[in-house]
Amino acid sequence: MFKIRKSDCTHCRLCMLACTAAHEPGLQSVKQARIHIEDDWPEIGGIEVCMACKEQLCIMTCPEDALTWNGHVVLDEDRCIKCHECVGACPYKGIMIHPSSNYPLYCDKCEGQFSCVNVCPTGAIKRR
């Protein structure tokens, strides 16, 4: 889904702003992003986002079968009990938590728009 080059990331967090705006139009924030830049000054700790891995530990771990795969991870909010087992299971730390609703947040590729990729000024995150 993504090709990531941590060494090119500048920690500007334009990807997080764009991701939040793509899912909450008109909201200027990084707090509802499905991608997270982990800072480890002076280096970058990681570009954390769903890597669409084969193992799919999030889906396997969910005790309520609330997660399915349809080109990206899909959450059934009616089934989700917000236990965050999936968040802990992801080896890429690629699942965030909504600050108010507490639901896990999954990358959905912005329905093919890839908002984060479009705004990254250095190409640290690209489509694979």
Partner 1 sequence: MWKGYAGKILEVDLSSGKIDRAALDMDTAEKYIGGKGFGIHTLFHRLPAGAEPLSADNILVFATGPLTGSAAPASGRLELCTKSPATGLWLDSNAGGSFGPELKYAGYDALIITGAAKVPVLLLIEDEEVAIVEADEYWGLDTIATHKKLKEHYSTDHRIACIGQNGELLSPLANVQTEYRSFGRGGAGAVMGSKNLKAVVVNGSGGLKTADNGEFSRMVRESVNELANSPDTGAAKPEFGTNVILSLMDHTGIHPTMNFHRSTLDERPIDEHDVRKFYKRNRACFSCTIRCSKVARVEEGPFQGAYTEGPEYETVWSFGSHCGNTDVASIIEAEHLCDAYGMDAISVGNVVGFLIDCFEKGLLTTDDTQGLELRWGNSEAIVAATKLIGLRQGPGDAWSRGVAYLEDTIAGARGLGAQVKGLELPAYDPRASKGMALAYATSDRGGCHLRSWPIGEEIMNMTNPLGLHTTEFKPEVVKSQQDLFCLVNCSGLCLFAAFTLTLEQIAPLFSSLTGIESLGNAEKLLEAGERVNNLVRLFNLREGLTAEQDTLPARFITEPLPDGPRCGATVDVSEMVQTYYKLRGWSDDGKPTRELLDRLEIATES
DSSP label at 7? G
How far is residue 79's CA from residue 71's CA, in Å, rounded to a whole number?
Answer: 20
First to last CA, the chain: 5
State which of residues 2, 3, 5, 18 lies at the interface with partner 1 (CB under 8 A): 18
Map the footprint of partner 1 across residues 67-126, applying CB under 8 A: 99-100, 119, 121-122
How far is residue 74's CA from residue 13's CA, in Å, rounded to a whole number?
Answer: 25
Residue 83 burial class via C-beta count within 10 angstroms: exposed 0-12, middle 13-18, buried 19 and up = middle
Q: Which residues pair with 97 in a beta bridge?
A: 104
Q: Which of the ranges 23-31, 49-57, 66-74, 77-85 carries the binding residues for partner 1, by CB under 8 A? A: 23-31
State which of residues 3, 5, 10, 60 lies at the interface with partner 1 (CB under 8 A): 10
Cβ nearer to partner 1, comparing 41 with 70: 41
Size of the residue set binding partner 1 (CB under 8 A): 33
Residue 116 burial class via C-beta count within 10 angstroms: exposed 0-12, middle 13-18, buried 19 and up = buried
Cβ nearer to partner 1, comparing 38 with 77: 38
State which of residues 14, 52, 83, 89 lies at the interface with partner 1 (CB under 8 A): 14
Contact flag: residue 17 with partner 1 (CB under 8 A): yes
Per CB under 8 A, residues contacting partner 1 are: 7-8, 10-14, 17-18, 20-21, 24-32, 38-45, 99-100, 119, 121-122
